[in-house]
Chain A
Amino acid sequence: GAGVSQTPSNKVTEKGKYVELRCDPISGHTALYWYRQSLGQGPEFLIYFQGTGAADDSGLPNDRFFAVRPEGSVSTLKIQRTERGDSAVYLCASSLRDRGPTDTQYFGPGTRLTVL
């Protein structure tokens, strides 16, 4: 597609459940980023991939959060044993490469996660 897409757009789950959030980056973009945006806040960095590997996962809050990008394109953010504090909008972005003049990140519309 022309832009970054994320599915689902909204996800409601119960505390303790497992969820997967999907991101389809712009075709050809090698870098992919995940952010979490809580209400009234700016995006908070979680993890970024260069190709298939997680180049920096220092923003993941704890071991309940995990992300994969097995073929260097689509990425899935996985959250185990969800907690009410995980409720937020999860944003994905991609860029042509990491760092340099082509580092402009293009964002998807986000997935709003609500944990009841």
Chain B
Amino acid sequence: AQTVTQSQPEMSVQEAETVTLSCTYDTSESDYYLFWYKQPPSRQMILVIRQEAYKQQNATENRFSVNFQKAAKSFSLKISDSQLGDAAMYFCAYRGNQFYFGTGTSLTVIP
């Protein structure tokens, strides 16, 4: 069965600094997608970044980038120049034949 593991329930970062959130997954599928979603207190899940498994190049979206290690089944999210608005729960998600979410990492940004 596919699983997604986020081993950091909570993380904090100083404003303007860089933080990395970890995610590992387990799968026997070869074709899949990986996502990071942000969920602020308003509850609405917002897509941060996505990565197609067949692409070797790491995805980047402005201050957000991933380190995708397919062999290690690792998919970490790096947030550069952290801003107060980045504070939220971050969920790693896997999409193969089904969709699986990790348990989330709560990110606090310290002014």
Q: A: which residues have CB within 8 A of B? A: 33, 35, 40-45, 48, 56, 58-59, 89, 91, 93, 101, 103-110, 112
B45 interfacial contact with A, CB 8 Å: yes
Residue of B nearest to A95 (CB): B95
Instruction: Tell me which residues across on chain A come within 8 A of B30, comparing CB atoms.
Output: none
* Chain B interface residues (CB < 8 Å from chain A): 4, 33, 35, 37, 42-47, 50, 52, 91, 93, 95, 97-104
Known: A33-B99, A56-B98, A58-B98. A42 touches B44 (CB 8 A): no
* A-B contacts at CB below 8 angstroms, number: 49
Q: Taking A58-B98, A109-B42 as contacts, is the C-beta distance between A42 and B47 under 8 angstroms?
A: no
- Give the distance in Å from the alpha carbon of A56 to the alpha carbon of B100 in the complex: 14
15 A-B residue contacts at CB 8 Å?
A: A35-B99, A42-B103, A42-B104, A43-B91, A45-B98, A45-B99, A56-B98, A58-B98, A59-B98, A91-B45, A101-B52, A107-B44, A109-B44, A110-B43, A112-B43
